[in-house]
Amino acid sequence: MRGGPRAAAFLAVALLLIPTAACWTPAAQATPERPAHVRPTTSAPVRPLRHVVIMSFDGARADATRQVFPPALLARAAYSWEARTTLPSSTLPAHTSMLTGVPTAVHGVRINPNNPRGYIQIATVFSVVTQNGGRAAAFVTKPKLLYLIRPGTAARAEHLLYPRYDMSAVAREAARYLAQQQPHLLFIHMSDPDDQGHHYGWMSAPYMQTMARMPDAVSVILDVLTRMGRLDDSLVIVTADHGGVGRTHGGDRPEEVTIPWLAFGAVEPGPITKSIVTYDTAATAVAALGMPVPRTWQGKPVVQTVEKVR
Protein backbone atom coordinates (compact mmCIF):
# COMPACT_ATOMS: atom_id res chain seq x y z
CA MET A 1 0.00 0.00 0.00
CA ARG A 2 1.26 3.48 -0.87
CA GLY A 3 1.79 6.15 1.77
CA GLY A 4 0.37 9.66 2.06
CA PRO A 5 -3.25 10.41 1.23
CA ARG A 6 -3.78 6.98 -0.35
CA ALA A 7 -2.79 5.25 2.87
CA ALA A 8 -5.00 7.56 4.88
CA ALA A 9 -7.98 6.33 2.86
CA PHE A 10 -7.32 2.69 3.75
CA LEU A 11 -9.64 0.91 6.17
CA ALA A 12 -8.84 -2.63 7.27
CA VAL A 13 -12.39 -3.96 7.21
CA ALA A 14 -14.33 -6.17 4.83
CA LEU A 15 -16.63 -3.98 2.77
CA LEU A 16 -19.67 -4.86 0.75
CA LEU A 17 -21.97 -3.07 -1.61
CA ILE A 18 -23.85 -0.30 0.20
CA PRO A 19 -27.40 -1.68 0.60
CA THR A 20 -29.16 1.40 1.93
CA ALA A 21 -28.65 5.08 2.63
CA ALA A 22 -27.03 6.02 5.95
CA CYS A 23 -26.11 9.17 7.84
CA TRP A 24 -22.93 11.03 7.05
CA THR A 25 -21.20 14.24 7.96
CA PRO A 26 -21.19 17.02 7.02
CA ALA A 27 -24.95 17.21 6.61
CA ALA A 28 -26.24 16.39 3.13
CA GLN A 29 -27.54 19.29 1.07
CA ALA A 30 -30.81 19.03 -0.79
CA THR A 31 -30.69 19.32 -4.58
CA PRO A 32 -33.31 18.76 -7.29
CA GLU A 33 -31.67 15.40 -7.91
CA ARG A 34 -31.35 14.24 -4.30
CA PRO A 35 -33.94 15.26 -1.69
CA ALA A 36 -32.70 16.36 1.74
CA HIS A 37 -33.93 13.22 3.46
CA VAL A 38 -31.74 10.96 1.30
CA ARG A 39 -28.29 10.85 2.89
CA PRO A 40 -25.62 8.85 1.09
CA THR A 41 -22.99 6.75 2.80
CA THR A 42 -19.30 7.67 2.83
CA SER A 43 -16.64 5.05 3.40
CA ALA A 44 -13.17 4.36 2.08
CA PRO A 45 -12.46 1.23 0.04
CA VAL A 46 -10.84 -1.77 1.70
CA ARG A 47 -7.80 -1.09 -0.49
CA PRO A 48 -6.96 1.46 -3.16
CA LEU A 49 -7.69 0.08 -6.60
CA ARG A 50 -5.29 0.36 -9.51
CA HIS A 51 -7.71 1.49 -12.24
CA VAL A 52 -11.04 3.28 -12.51
CA VAL A 53 -12.72 3.54 -15.91
CA ILE A 54 -15.78 5.76 -16.36
CA MET A 55 -17.76 4.97 -19.52
CA SER A 56 -20.36 7.60 -20.40
CA PHE A 57 -22.84 6.69 -23.15
CA ASP A 58 -24.28 10.03 -24.19
CA GLY A 59 -28.08 9.97 -24.20
CA ALA A 60 -28.46 6.37 -22.97
CA ARG A 61 -31.82 6.09 -21.24
CA ALA A 62 -31.96 3.78 -18.24
CA ASP A 63 -34.91 1.78 -19.54
CA ALA A 64 -33.22 1.31 -22.92
CA THR A 65 -30.00 0.19 -21.24
CA ARG A 66 -31.91 -2.29 -19.14
CA GLN A 67 -33.49 -3.79 -22.26
CA VAL A 68 -30.19 -4.39 -24.07
CA PHE A 69 -27.94 -5.67 -21.28
CA PRO A 70 -27.71 -9.47 -21.42
CA PRO A 71 -28.36 -11.27 -18.12
CA ALA A 72 -24.90 -12.84 -18.05
CA LEU A 73 -23.20 -9.44 -18.21
CA LEU A 74 -25.63 -7.82 -15.78
CA ALA A 75 -24.94 -10.63 -13.29
CA ARG A 76 -21.39 -9.26 -12.97
CA ALA A 77 -22.52 -5.72 -12.09
CA ALA A 78 -23.76 -3.65 -9.20
CA TYR A 79 -26.47 -1.63 -10.89
CA SER A 80 -29.32 0.86 -10.66
CA TRP A 81 -31.90 1.84 -13.28
CA GLU A 82 -33.06 4.79 -11.16
CA ALA A 83 -30.02 7.09 -11.04
CA ARG A 84 -30.65 10.73 -11.86
CA THR A 85 -28.80 13.41 -13.72
CA THR A 86 -28.72 17.15 -13.11
CA LEU A 87 -30.75 19.98 -14.64
CA PRO A 88 -30.57 21.01 -17.36
CA SER A 89 -30.28 17.44 -18.59
CA SER A 90 -27.85 18.32 -21.37
CA THR A 91 -24.39 17.07 -22.28
CA LEU A 92 -22.03 19.69 -20.87
CA PRO A 93 -23.95 20.57 -17.66
CA ALA A 94 -24.51 16.89 -16.85
CA HIS A 95 -20.95 15.80 -17.60
CA THR A 96 -19.65 18.70 -15.54
CA SER A 97 -21.56 17.36 -12.54
CA MET A 98 -20.49 13.80 -13.31
CA LEU A 99 -16.81 14.75 -13.28
CA THR A 100 -16.72 17.53 -10.65
CA GLY A 101 -18.78 15.95 -7.87
CA VAL A 102 -21.19 18.89 -7.54
CA PRO A 103 -24.63 19.84 -8.92
CA THR A 104 -25.31 22.54 -11.48
CA ALA A 105 -26.05 25.11 -8.78
CA VAL A 106 -22.43 24.82 -7.64
CA HIS A 107 -20.44 24.51 -10.87
CA GLY A 108 -22.64 26.99 -12.73
CA VAL A 109 -22.51 25.32 -16.17
CA ARG A 110 -26.08 25.69 -17.41
CA ILE A 111 -25.63 25.97 -21.16
CA ASN A 112 -24.46 23.43 -23.69
CA PRO A 113 -22.19 25.13 -26.27
CA ASN A 114 -20.34 23.07 -28.83
CA ASN A 115 -17.07 24.94 -28.26
CA PRO A 116 -16.93 26.48 -24.78
CA ARG A 117 -14.06 28.86 -24.12
CA GLY A 118 -11.27 28.08 -21.70
CA TYR A 119 -11.42 25.37 -19.08
CA ILE A 120 -13.36 24.69 -15.91
CA GLN A 121 -11.55 26.03 -12.85
CA ILE A 122 -12.96 23.89 -10.03
CA ALA A 123 -11.68 20.47 -9.00
CA THR A 124 -12.39 17.56 -11.34
CA VAL A 125 -11.69 13.86 -11.15
CA PHE A 126 -8.75 14.53 -13.46
CA SER A 127 -7.20 17.22 -11.27
CA VAL A 128 -7.75 15.27 -8.04
CA VAL A 129 -6.13 12.14 -9.43
CA THR A 130 -3.20 14.06 -10.88
CA GLN A 131 -2.63 16.09 -7.70
CA ASN A 132 -2.50 12.85 -5.73
CA GLY A 133 0.23 11.39 -7.92
CA GLY A 134 -1.96 9.38 -10.30
CA ARG A 135 -2.33 9.44 -14.07
CA ALA A 136 -5.58 10.36 -15.78
CA ALA A 137 -6.68 10.20 -19.42
CA ALA A 138 -9.81 10.81 -21.48
CA PHE A 139 -11.20 9.90 -24.89
CA VAL A 140 -14.25 11.94 -25.90
CA THR A 141 -16.38 12.11 -29.03
CA LYS A 142 -17.64 15.66 -28.41
CA PRO A 143 -14.96 18.38 -28.26
CA LYS A 144 -16.99 20.38 -25.74
CA LEU A 145 -15.99 17.85 -23.06
CA LEU A 146 -12.36 18.94 -23.34
CA TYR A 147 -13.54 22.00 -21.38
CA LEU A 148 -13.50 19.73 -18.32
CA ILE A 149 -9.83 18.74 -18.68
CA ARG A 150 -7.49 21.59 -17.81
CA PRO A 151 -3.99 21.36 -19.25
CA GLY A 152 -1.78 19.44 -16.87
CA THR A 153 -4.62 17.46 -15.27
CA ALA A 154 -4.50 14.52 -17.70
CA ALA A 155 -1.71 12.65 -19.43
CA ARG A 156 -3.91 12.42 -22.54
CA ALA A 157 -7.13 14.17 -23.52
CA GLU A 158 -8.16 13.26 -27.03
CA HIS A 159 -11.17 14.08 -29.17
CA LEU A 160 -12.11 11.16 -31.41
CA LEU A 161 -14.23 12.36 -34.31
CA TYR A 162 -17.71 10.84 -34.38
CA PRO A 163 -19.16 8.98 -36.33
CA ARG A 164 -15.84 7.63 -37.63
CA TYR A 165 -15.20 6.65 -34.03
CA ASP A 166 -18.44 4.96 -33.02
CA MET A 167 -18.73 3.35 -29.60
CA SER A 168 -17.00 0.15 -30.70
CA ALA A 169 -14.04 2.03 -32.18
CA VAL A 170 -13.78 4.31 -29.15
CA ALA A 171 -13.79 1.32 -26.80
CA ARG A 172 -11.02 -0.37 -28.78
CA GLU A 173 -8.91 2.80 -28.87
CA ALA A 174 -9.36 3.32 -25.15
CA ALA A 175 -8.62 -0.34 -24.43
CA ARG A 176 -5.31 -0.13 -26.31
CA TYR A 177 -4.33 2.93 -24.31
CA LEU A 178 -5.39 1.30 -21.05
CA ALA A 179 -3.27 -1.77 -21.74
CA GLN A 180 -0.22 0.21 -22.86
CA GLN A 181 -0.22 3.19 -20.47
CA GLN A 182 -2.26 1.83 -17.55
CA PRO A 183 -3.67 5.14 -16.26
CA HIS A 184 -5.26 5.18 -12.84
CA LEU A 185 -8.32 7.01 -14.21
CA LEU A 186 -9.69 6.67 -17.73
CA PHE A 187 -12.79 8.52 -18.92
CA ILE A 188 -14.46 7.28 -22.11
CA HIS A 189 -17.31 9.14 -23.82
CA MET A 190 -19.48 7.80 -26.67
CA SER A 191 -21.89 9.96 -28.69
CA ASP A 192 -23.83 7.23 -30.47
CA PRO A 193 -27.12 7.05 -28.49
CA ASP A 194 -27.49 10.85 -28.37
CA ASP A 195 -26.90 11.16 -32.11
CA GLN A 196 -29.50 8.53 -32.94
CA GLY A 197 -31.97 10.01 -30.46
CA HIS A 198 -31.78 13.46 -32.07
CA HIS A 199 -32.04 12.06 -35.58
CA TYR A 200 -34.65 9.33 -35.17
CA GLY A 201 -36.08 9.71 -31.69
CA TRP A 202 -35.31 8.15 -28.32
CA MET A 203 -36.51 4.52 -28.18
CA SER A 204 -36.91 4.42 -32.00
CA ALA A 205 -35.67 1.35 -33.88
CA PRO A 206 -32.36 3.03 -34.95
CA TYR A 207 -31.81 4.25 -31.39
CA MET A 208 -32.36 0.78 -29.94
CA GLN A 209 -30.13 -0.80 -32.59
CA THR A 210 -27.37 1.53 -31.46
CA MET A 211 -28.05 0.82 -27.80
CA ALA A 212 -27.76 -2.92 -28.54
CA ARG A 213 -24.03 -2.38 -29.21
CA MET A 214 -23.48 -0.87 -25.76
CA PRO A 215 -22.81 -4.18 -23.93
CA ASP A 216 -20.13 -5.13 -26.46
CA ALA A 217 -18.35 -1.80 -25.89
CA VAL A 218 -18.41 -2.42 -22.14
CA SER A 219 -17.10 -5.95 -22.66
CA VAL A 220 -14.12 -4.59 -24.61
CA ILE A 221 -12.95 -2.74 -21.49
CA LEU A 222 -13.74 -5.62 -19.13
CA ASP A 223 -11.87 -8.02 -21.40
CA VAL A 224 -8.71 -5.91 -21.60
CA LEU A 225 -8.64 -5.56 -17.80
CA THR A 226 -9.05 -9.32 -17.54
CA ARG A 227 -6.13 -9.91 -19.91
CA MET A 228 -4.08 -7.44 -17.87
CA GLY A 229 -4.92 -9.43 -14.73
CA ARG A 230 -6.42 -6.25 -13.27
CA LEU A 231 -10.19 -6.67 -13.35
CA ASP A 232 -10.37 -7.53 -9.65
CA ASP A 233 -8.18 -4.51 -8.98
CA SER A 234 -10.37 -2.12 -10.98
CA LEU A 235 -13.71 -0.37 -11.03
CA VAL A 236 -15.55 0.17 -14.32
CA ILE A 237 -18.48 2.58 -14.06
CA VAL A 238 -21.03 2.56 -16.90
CA THR A 239 -23.44 5.46 -16.97
CA ALA A 240 -24.93 8.29 -19.07
CA ASP A 241 -25.27 12.06 -18.94
CA HIS A 242 -29.00 12.20 -19.74
CA GLY A 243 -31.83 10.39 -21.47
CA GLY A 244 -34.32 11.83 -23.92
CA VAL A 245 -37.89 11.78 -25.17
CA GLY A 246 -39.03 12.31 -28.73
CA ARG A 247 -36.02 13.91 -30.38
CA THR A 248 -34.93 16.13 -27.55
CA HIS A 249 -33.74 16.37 -23.95
CA GLY A 250 -32.75 18.99 -21.41
CA GLY A 251 -35.86 19.10 -19.26
CA ASP A 252 -37.02 17.38 -16.10
CA ARG A 253 -39.20 14.62 -17.52
CA PRO A 254 -38.36 11.16 -16.12
CA GLU A 255 -37.26 9.96 -19.56
CA GLU A 256 -34.71 12.79 -19.67
CA VAL A 257 -33.29 12.71 -16.15
CA THR A 258 -33.26 8.98 -15.34
CA ILE A 259 -29.92 7.39 -16.23
CA PRO A 260 -28.29 3.97 -15.85
CA TRP A 261 -25.50 3.45 -13.32
CA LEU A 262 -23.57 0.19 -13.31
CA ALA A 263 -20.26 -0.85 -11.75
CA PHE A 264 -18.07 -3.82 -12.65
CA GLY A 265 -14.87 -5.22 -11.21
CA ALA A 266 -14.12 -5.11 -7.49
CA VAL A 267 -17.75 -4.77 -6.39
CA GLU A 268 -20.43 -7.03 -5.02
CA PRO A 269 -22.90 -7.68 -7.89
CA GLY A 270 -26.60 -6.98 -7.51
CA PRO A 271 -29.13 -4.14 -7.43
CA ILE A 272 -28.15 -0.88 -5.73
CA THR A 273 -31.01 0.27 -3.52
CA LYS A 274 -29.66 3.66 -2.49
CA SER A 275 -30.32 6.96 -4.28
CA ILE A 276 -27.73 7.84 -6.91
CA VAL A 277 -27.13 11.17 -8.65
CA THR A 278 -24.60 11.70 -11.39
CA TYR A 279 -22.19 13.72 -9.26
CA ASP A 280 -21.76 10.64 -7.06
CA THR A 281 -19.74 9.19 -9.95
CA ALA A 282 -16.79 11.53 -9.31
CA ALA A 283 -16.68 10.69 -5.61
CA THR A 284 -16.95 6.96 -6.31
CA ALA A 285 -14.00 7.10 -8.72
CA VAL A 286 -11.72 9.09 -6.41
CA ALA A 287 -12.56 7.01 -3.33
CA ALA A 288 -11.98 3.74 -5.20
CA LEU A 289 -8.45 4.91 -6.02
CA GLY A 290 -7.86 5.53 -2.32
CA MET A 291 -7.63 9.29 -2.77
CA PRO A 292 -9.35 11.91 -0.58
CA VAL A 293 -12.70 13.14 -1.86
CA PRO A 294 -12.69 16.97 -1.84
CA ARG A 295 -14.74 18.38 1.02
CA THR A 296 -16.49 20.73 -1.39
CA TRP A 297 -17.99 17.84 -3.34
CA GLN A 298 -21.60 16.90 -2.67
CA GLY A 299 -21.24 13.56 -4.44
CA LYS A 300 -20.61 10.51 -2.26
CA PRO A 301 -19.29 7.02 -3.11
CA VAL A 302 -21.99 4.73 -4.45
CA VAL A 303 -20.23 1.38 -4.15
CA GLN A 304 -17.42 0.12 -1.99
CA THR A 305 -14.80 -2.26 -3.28
CA VAL A 306 -14.53 -5.82 -2.06
CA GLU A 307 -11.61 -8.20 -1.86
CA LYS A 308 -12.04 -11.00 -4.39
CA VAL A 309 -10.47 -14.43 -4.44
CA ARG A 310 -7.83 -14.48 -7.16
Residue 303: predicted pLDDT: 83
Residue 46: predicted pLDDT: 56
Would you say residue 309 has pLDDT above 60? no
Residue 172 lies inside a defined structural domain of this protein: yes
Q: Is the peptide bond before 40 cis (omega within 30 degrees of 0)?
A: no
Residue 310 lies inside a defined structural domain of this protein: no
Residue 104: predicted pLDDT: 97
| Residue 64: pLDDT band with limits 50, 70, 90 | very high
| Residue 47: pLDDT band with limits 50, 70, 90 | confident
Residue 150: predicted pLDDT: 97
| Residue 86: pLDDT band with limits 50, 70, 90 | very high
3-state helix, strand, coil in the chain (%, to 5): 35, 15, 50
Question: What letter represents residue 38's amino acid?
Answer: V
Q: Write the DSSP string, 231-285.
A: GGGEEEEEE-S---BTTB--S-SHHHHEEEEEEEESS--EE--S--BTTHHHHHH
Number of residues assigned to the chain? 310
| Residue 308: pLDDT band with limits 50, 70, 90 | low
Would you say residue 83 has pLDDT above 90? yes
Would you say residue 71 has pLDDT above 60? yes
Per the prediction, the chain carries an average pLDDT of 87
Radius of gyration, alpha carbons of the chain: 17
Of 18-22, 100-104, 125-129, 233-237, where does mean pLDDT reach its minimum?
Answer: 18-22
Residue 302 lies inside a defined structural domain of this protein: no
Q: What is the mean pLDDT of residues 85-97?
A: 98
Q: How many of the other CB atoms lie within 10 Å of CB of 61? A: 29
Q: How many of the other CB atoms lie within 10 Å of CB of 244? A: 28
pLDDT tens digits, 143-182: 999 999 999 999 999 999 999 999 999 999 999 999 999 9
Residue 247 lies inside a defined structural domain of this protein: yes
Residue 300 lies inside a defined structural domain of this protein: no
Report the C-alpha gap between 192 and 303 in whole angstroms.
27
Residue 133 parent element (H or E): none
> 21 burial class (0-12, 13-18, 19+ CB within 10 angstroms)?
middle
Would you say residue 29 has pLDDT above 70? no
Report the C-alpha gap between 43 and 46 in whole angstroms.
9
Report the C-alpha gap between 145 and 98 in whole angstroms.
11
* DSSP helix/strand/coil, 169: helix
In angstroms, what CA-CA distances link 64 with 61, 212, 253? Answer: 5, 9, 16
CATH code of 215's domain: 3.40.720.10
Would you say residue 50 has pLDDT above 70? yes
Domain that holds residue 132: 38-111+119-288
Side by side, the strands of the sheet bearing 270-271 are: 156-159, 136-140, 185-190, 51-57, 234-239, 258-265, 78-84, 270-271
The percent of residues above 70 in pLDDT, for the chain, comes to 83
- Pick 32 or 282 by higher pLDDT: 282
Q: Give one word for 5, left, alpha or beta, with left for phi > 0 and alpha for psi -120 to 50.
A: alpha
Contacts of 27 (CB under 8 A, 6+ apart): 39
Residue 295 lies inside a defined structural domain of this protein: no
Would you say residue 85 has pLDDT above 70? yes
Domain count, the chain: 1
